[in-house]
Structures are given as C-alpha cells and as structure tokens.
Amino acid sequence: MLLTFIIEIFFLLGSIGFIWGLRLMSSPDTARKGNMYAGIGMILAVIAALIMPLEGTVSNNYAWIFAALLVGSIIGYYSAIKVAMTSMPQMVSIFNGLGGACAVVLGLADVLHYYDGTKVVDTLGFFTVLLTLFIGGVAFTGSIFAYAKLEDLIDDKKVTLPKHSVINMIMLAGLLGLGAYILMQGEAIGMEAAIIFLVISLIYGVSFVAPIGGADMPVVISLLNSFSGLSGAAAGILFDSQFMVVGGILVGASGTILTVMMCNAMNRSIWNVLIGGFGGTSAIGATATGGTVKEISLNDASIQLYYSQSVIIVPGYGLAVAQAQKICKEIDDQLSANGVEVKYAIHPVAGRMPGHMNVLLAEADVPYPKLLDLDEANSALSSADVAIIVGANDVVNPAAENDPGSPIYGMPVLKVWNAKSVIVLKRSMRSGYAGIENPLFFHDRTKMLFGDAKDVLSKLNSEIKSL
Amino acid sequence: MENFYGFFLDNLLIIYLLAFTVLLGFEIIAKVPTVLHTPLMSGSNAISGVVVIGAILLVRLTEPTDYLTLSLGFTGIVLGMINVAGGFVVTDRMLEMFKKKKK
C-alpha cells in the first residue's frame, strides 16, 4: 500500500515536472531550469515504472531492462553531444521517428498477446491498439524519410508520383476500411490483418512525406513531432498510465501549435501544404519584373554599414548553409563598437525547423535580445538605416504584400524595403525555394552584393576592419 | 452505441484528464516565444520518450522465456531511452547558449 502510494506520487510529480518545465520555457532565462525539471520528472517516472507492484505474472527481467536503458542512454547522450546545431532538424526528425517506432513496438506486443489469448482486449481497447500502430507507424517512417530529405539523400521530384495526393487518399481510406473490418471481426480474422494494417501505415508514412519538401520542411517536422507525442499518449491508454497520457498529449499540443504557426507564417493551410502547393509549376508563370539591378562594391557597403545609426541583419537559411553565423557576429561586434545599433530580423520559417535560426545565432554568441521576431522586426525596419539580407529570399519578397497574382501573396514577410537602404547578399539572381522572382532586387533602395555568403561576409569584415 | 455510452461513463476520469491536458498544453505552449521553438521541439522529443515507461512495464510482465516479446520490449526501451537522454541533453546544450550577455 505504502509502496503503491509512493509510486503514484512519483508519477504525479513526474507529470508536474513536465508541465512546470514547459511553463518555464516561456523565457530564455528560465528555460534551462525548465528542461531540468522535465528531466527530473522523467527520471522519477522511470524509477517508479521499475519498482511499481504489478498484477499477473511478474518476472521483472531486470537484466534486459537495465541493459536496454544503458544502451539507449549511451546512444542518446553521444548523439546529443556530437550533433552540429545546423543539423538540429535532422536530429529532431530522427527522435520523432524513434518515439513513433517505440509506440509501434508497444502496439505490436499487444497485438501478439491479443491473438495468442494471453491478453483480453475489448473492441475499444483494440481500437486504441490500431490507433497506436497507425500514428506511431506514420511518425516512424515519415520522420525517417524526412531525415533523408533534410540530409539531401533524396531528390523530392523523384519520389513524387503522378496524382500522389490521390494515392495517399486511397491508402488512408483503405486503412480506415481495414481498421473497421478488423475491429468488427475481432479474433476471428487472425493476426495477419493487423500486421497488414501496420505495414500499410508504415508505407503511408513515407508516401505522405514524399511530395512535401523544401521550404515546407518546418511544417512537416512540427506535424511529425505532434504525431510522435500522440502515439505516446495512445500507448499510454494501452498501459493505463496517466503519466504517459499527460506526456504524450503535451507533446501533441506542442507539435500542433508549431504546425499551425508555421502554416500561418507561410499563409497556407495545412491541407495546402500536405497536398503540395507551390511545386515547380508556379515558378515559370511568375511575372518577370525586369528593371535594372544595381550592384554595390564591398568598400561602399562597408562604409555605408560602418557610418549608419542602425543596421538590421536578415539571415536566411543560406547563411546557415554557408556556416557564416560567426563572421556575421564579428561584423556585428565591429559595428556595435562604432556605436551602430545592430539587430537581427528573424522570419518564423527562416531555417529548416521552427526557431532554427535563433539557435544558430545563439551558437555564434549573439545575445537573444538582439533577435527580433516578425512584428518587432517590421516596426524596427521602418526606422533602420540599412537592412542587410544574407541568404534569405522569399521571406523578404514585396510581392507577398502587393502582387495578388503571386503564389506567396498574403504571406507575412519582413518589410525590408521600408529601411532607408537595402543590401542583398546573394550567390546569383536565382529565385528562392518557392521559385518566385523577387521584385525587391530591382527596388530603388536595393543594392546587390553577389557571391558566397561566407566569402562576401569575411571580405566585408576585413573592409570594415581597415576603415 | 450502448457500448460507447458505457465506455464514456466507465472512463470519465481519463476523459477529463485528456480534455484538461489538451487545454493546458495549448495554453502553456502558446506562451513559448519564437526564439525557443527549436529547444521546445527537442525538449518535447525527450518528453515523448514517456513511451519508455510502457516498454519497461511490458518487459517486467513478460515470461523470461518469451524471447519475441522480450526483444520487442528491449527495442522499445532502447528507442525510448535514446529519445529521453538525447532529447534532454541536446536541449540543455542549446539552452546554455541562450544566455543574456551585456552588449
């Protein structure tokens, strides 16, 4: 009795640890403590799960458990220490997949026990088993596929079939039908049907991620994050564990909110993202803005930056690809030393996952009060002397504001053209992910600085040094 | 339908728990600033490692000779634990960088 009481207190404290931990995530100052509270919550729950009294045949098998805990911890710890900050989207994808896979394994064990008669499950219970297999399965293969895309192991165009969304719909309908059939037939139909259900779910996971790519990756990662949480919550119902349900739902909520935010940041519905909105087709039809492009010399650019009052840097994924965050920070330091106010304007979908750019800049020691979100940035831009754009394109496209014919019309963008002058660092005149021409490059106030981001920034840095 | 009513009434507490946790989750997470969205995601990766609890219970309830289930459970614990350990450590690594520095 006392033991059960203590165990349940542990689970309760564990859940509170999660909730309090996430609450502390509301500020960068307290977030680290929050992460620690959530971690302590998890440790309490693991201890409780190890010693809690169970009904039925309990053989414990502690050797298996401790071996597995050890192997998992070592792999997890080393991958966490080793991973580069630019690869965070890949790591989060893999982790989403592992969470889903773990839920699948738990669902599978229930399927085995249901059909060999060692576990009695009612229809609703078996519905939960199928739900766990489906959500977990999609999170698993979908995330692994998303990882492969992020690592550039897969070419988006090669994996998209003609009428892909129709194929996905058919598969989903098939899953629904098969699931309903399995539930109605009960034990009579045999285990094979449940295994087929799982296999189709796994294939669906790949097929559902296949046509989505490029700039839509932040949405996909958020969505899969939510799935991995929900599969955990479903598994929690299987094990009658309130703790697992609370943890899983919190993650599900977090993933869902981020998905919605990312969709809003691109002014697209989740449906539109999943079906595949701007593929290659819209790019060709985009109106040619024409006009002349003005270039600026490194020397002029450095002088302009050095003697201005306020500079706003707009980093895009190009900056991260070029690993140019540190040089960016060096330029920031030099300008700040001369009394220039330097801020960073960060669009919600800069980078390849929510908040990615903030982490990359934090890694380069940029203090977070200098990082402005969309609204702050837009009010700061109207009074800025220079806006310098490094490796960003679609998120600074004025067409989103004033060209109803543009595919990105209505997407919230950084209004860099409100700054007194704009310098765009760019490799070439190529268009961005969405394949849309950017009238900003032809704007009166815009001057272009062509070249590789890292290369140009380091030259700019030494120019400023020599001033 | 009778079945469904019965299920609802029998599981009233867990349904309350679900409803309130969903609301609480949305409420708390909506307050997380954009700056912290990546750590939020990796942190929630770690939290979705709660599945490890289920895997531990599964192994404890398995006959020592049932190697199929034992291997499933073992795999489950390893996968869940990678999430837990990896998620918390990488989140801590990231949050350490978000220190306030004077200009």
The interface predicted TM-score (ipTM) is: 0.93
* Token pair belonging to B66: 């049932």
Q: Which pLDDT score, from 0 to 100, does residue A65 have? A: 96
Torsion of CA A169, A170, A175, A181, to 10 degrees: 130
Contact A120, A155 (CB under 8 A): no
CB contact under 8 A, B54 and A29: no
Q: How far is B82 from chain A (nearest CA, A)?
A: 4
Kindly report the number of other CB atoms within 10 A of residue A245's CB atom. Answer: 23
Distance (Å, whole) CA B91 – CA B95: 6
* Token pair belonging to A423: 């310098």
Q: Phi, psi at residue A259, to the nearest 5°?
A: -60, -45
Residue A75: CB partners within 8 Å, gap ≥ 6? B78, B82, B85, B86
Q: Assess whether B14 and B50 both reside in one domain.
A: no
Count of domains forming chain B: 2
Q: Assess whether B39 and B26 both reside in one domain.
A: no
Q: What does the pLDDT average to over A280-294?
A: 54
Question: Can you give the residue range of the structural domain that contains B15?
Answer: 1-31
pLDDT tens-digit series, residues A206-260: 998 888 877 788 889 999 999 999 999 999 999 989 999 999 999 999 999 999 9
Contact A99, B45 (CB under 8 A): yes
Q: Assess whether B10 and B49 both reside in one domain.
A: no
Given the structure tokens 């026990």, which residue do they identify?
A113
Handedness of CA A369, A371, A372, A373 (dihedral sign): negative
Residue A281 has pLDDT above 50, yes or no: no
Q: Phi, psi at residue A311, to the nearest 5°?
A: -125, 135
Q: Assess whether B47 and B20 both reside in one domain.
A: no
**Residue of chain B nearest A44, judged by CA positions:** B53
Nearest one of A109, A167, A369 to B73, comparing CA atoms: A109
Using a CB-CB distance cutoff of 8 angstroms, which residues of chain A are in contact with residue B36? 25, 28, 31, 355, 358
- Which H or E element spans position A67? helix A62-82
Instruction: Please report the DSSP string for A352-398 in residue order.
Output: SSTTHHHHHHHHTT--GGGEE-HHHHHHHHTT-SEEEEES--GGG-T
* Token pair belonging to A37: 């509270």
CB contact under 8 A, A225 and B18: no
Q: Assess whether B68 and B23 both reside in one domain.
A: no
CB contact under 8 A, B24 and A109: no
Catalytic residue from among A110, A216, A332, A394:
A394
Kindly report the number of other CB atoms within 10 A of residue A196's CB atom. Answer: 14
Q: Assess whether B45 and B21 both reside in one domain.
A: no
Q: Assess whether B75 and B49 both reside in one domain.
A: yes
Contact A19, B28 (CB under 8 A): yes
Residue A272 has pLDDT above 60, yes or no: yes
Q: Assess whether B1 and B49 both reside in one domain.
A: no
Q: Assess whether B55 and B74 both reside in one domain.
A: yes
A394 catalytically annotated: yes
CB contact under 8 A, B60 and A61: yes
Q: Give the best residue of A24, A51, A77, A95 to mutate against chain B (max B CB count within 10 A).
A: A95
Q: Assess whether B56 and B95 both reside in one domain.
A: yes
Q: Assess whether B83 and B96 both reside in one domain.
A: yes
pLDDT tens-digit series, residues A371-422: 999 999 999 999 999 999 998 888 898 988 888 887 778 889 999 999 999 9
Residue A433 has pLDDT above 80, yes or no: no
Contact A67, B73 (CB under 8 A): no
Q: Assess whether B27 and B43 both reside in one domain.
A: no
Torsion of CA A33, A39, A43, A46, to 10 degrees: 150
pLDDT tens-digit series, residues A121-174: 788 888 999 999 999 999 999 999 999 988 888 877 777 777 778 888 899 999
Nearest to B54 among A54, A239, A257 (CB): A239
Distance (Å, whole) CA A186 – CA A84: 49
Nearest one of A27, A89, A330, A81 to B98, comparing CA atoms: A27
CB contact under 8 A, A45 and B82: no
In DSSP terms, A371 is beta-bridged to A344
